[in-house]
Amino acid sequence: MRSPIQKLARLRSYDEALKFMQKTAPTRGMDYTPLGERRYHGDYYLRRIVTADSDKIVVYLFSMQLIEFTKGTSRVTVNPMGHSIYTTSLDFLKQVLLLQCDKASQGKFVVYTNAVEEGRNVYQQKIVMPPMSKFYIAPLNGNWELLEKPVLFTYHLNKRETNIVRESTRRFRDHVELMLKVRDCLTVNTQQDKSFPLYIFPQSEFEEAFGGDGAQPMRTGVNGWFVLIRKPTQGTSLSVPVEKTWPTLRGQLTNYESGMTEWQFYRHKANEFMRLVTSEDTTDFYKAMLIVAHCATQNQRRHFYKDQQITVSFICMLEALDEIILKANSNKCFSMIEVPQGVVPTDKYTSYVFWQD
């Protein structure tokens, strides 16, 4: 069965869009003109917007402004409102504009522009666009030309600094391994005839170390430490109170913490955790181990919760620890580098870094 998008009209300029609107009756009782079959008039349509300063025809996909033609110029604005671009959006652009584009990873997408000659080879330029990109194109030799190419960045792991940070927690990791050897565990067998231990952490142990009445599963004072895994990376975290972002923490924060923003709360917890794992005090090591076990359950790693206790593997705890310390020291461990255009940048460490670091 053909998609309704495949039956949409093709438009390349303001004049073509205006001509289409003049020969197509608008939807009854509405101020827009359907772009395809009338039964889908509310999904794909055009609307002319005339003001004192401009005369535009906007093409909509599911109420999203996706294409904008302006009178007096051949330039076309794509995604003028900066919406997220999905596969349906790309199919829409391919049909209406004949713009060659494809989806990439993590919300990014690729636009292929006019053919370029290089010696005997002729190829199309591949332009990688960031998520929610607004961009401009213009006709060129029967195809489209991208008027402004975006500059893309990614985060690179600085191995030297990262090794220094990891080395600073080596005593803690070695101590955790010793503590786990005397802890109760369950042996899990895999389908490959291999087995590994899952270490048991009773809820009462968290309550004793961090406080809590045990009224709800794992609702103890350790809850606030999950921010070590869920590091805020949005600018809004600088002003939004932590109790608004994480309402489940109300009643579990100290007077000092309750007045913090989301970002201040994260930095406070990250600094305190780094103090615990580098103090070389066994009491601090024990408390930090419980925090790591708790955080290991927050990232959908292999763990179980049953009978007022959690079970988690040593490998998962090491993975959680590494993620915590890299995020807490991201200003040392990562650097921003420019990615050559045409290469899709990796998002592996995007959640680790915030410019405020």
Contact 129, 285 (CB under 8 A): no
pLDDT band at residue 215 using 50, 70 and 90 as cut-offs: very low
* Cα four-point dihedral sign 212, 214, 219, 220: positive
Tens-place pLDDT, residues 285-298: 999 999 999 888 87
pLDDT value of position 217: 43
CA distances from 249 to 51, 190, 204, 226 (A): 49, 37, 19, 11
pLDDT value of position 121: 56
Contact 108, 130 (CB under 8 A): yes
Identity at 6, one-letter amino acid code: Q
* Among the listed residues 36, 53, 52, 46, the one whose alpha carbon sits nearest the alpha carbon of residue 69: 46
> Distance (Å, rounded) from C-alpha 326 to C-alpha 168?
12
Structural Rg of the chain based on CA atoms: 28
Contact 124, 112 (CB under 8 A): yes
The answer on 129 and 56 residing in a single domain is: yes
Q: Cα 185 to chain center, whole Å? A: 35
The answer on 326 and 178 residing in a single domain is: yes
The answer on 230 and 84 residing in a single domain is: no
Tens-place pLDDT, residues 99-124: 988 988 778 899 988 665 555 555 57
The answer on 85 and 212 residing in a single domain is: no
The answer on 116 and 225 residing in a single domain is: no
pLDDT value of position 187: 83
Residue 355 lies in a domain: no
Structural domain ending residue among the three candidates 149, 164, 189? 149
Residue 197 lies in a domain: yes
The answer on 198 and 93 residing in a single domain is: no
Contact 231, 351 (CB under 8 A): yes
Residue 222 lies in a domain: yes
Residue 204 tokens, joined: 């009462």
Please give the average per-residue pLDDT across 121-150, as a whole number: 85
26-40, 42-56, 147-161, 298-312: segment of lowest average pLDDT? 298-312
Residue 343 lies in a domain: no
Residue 344 lies in a domain: no
Residue 89 lies in a domain: yes
> Distance (Å, rounded) from C-alpha 128 to C-alpha 346?
12
For the chain, give the longest Cα–Cα distance: 81
> Distance (Å, rounded) from C-alpha 22 to C-alpha 16?
10
Contact 106, 347 (CB under 8 A): yes
pLDDT value of position 299: 60
Question: Which of the two residues, 202 and 57, has the higher pLDDT score?
Answer: 57
- DSSP tag of 26: P
Residue 74 lies in a domain: yes
* Among the listed residues 283, 280, 285, the one whose alpha carbon sits nearest the alpha carbon of residue 321: 285
Domain containing residue 34: 4-149
Return mean pLDDT, the chain.
Answer: 87
Q: Is the pLDDT of residue 3 over 60?
A: yes
The answer on 265 and 142 residing in a single domain is: no
Structural domain ending residue among the three candidates 149, 184, 218? 149
| Residues above pLDDT 90, as percent of the chain | 49
The answer on 145 and 189 residing in a single domain is: no
> Distance (Å, rounded) from C-alpha 54 to C-alpha 315?
61
Tens-place pLDDT, residues 216-237: 444 556 788 889 999 999 888 9
Structural domain ending residue among the three candidates 149, 166, 185? 149
> Distance (Å, rounded) from C-alpha 219 to C-alpha 217?
6
The answer on 84 and 107 residing in a single domain is: yes
The answer on 234 and 107 residing in a single domain is: no
Please give the average per-residue pLDDT across 303-320, as a whole number: 79
The answer on 260 and 145 residing in a single domain is: no
Contact 242, 259 (CB under 8 A): no
> Distance (Å, rounded) from C-alpha 9 to C-alpha 59?
11
The answer on 279 and 200 residing in a single domain is: yes
Residue 270 lies in a domain: yes
Contact 97, 5 (CB under 8 A): no
pLDDT band at residue 178 using 50, 70 and 90 as cut-offs: very high
pLDDT value of position 91: 94
Number of folded domains that form the chain: 2
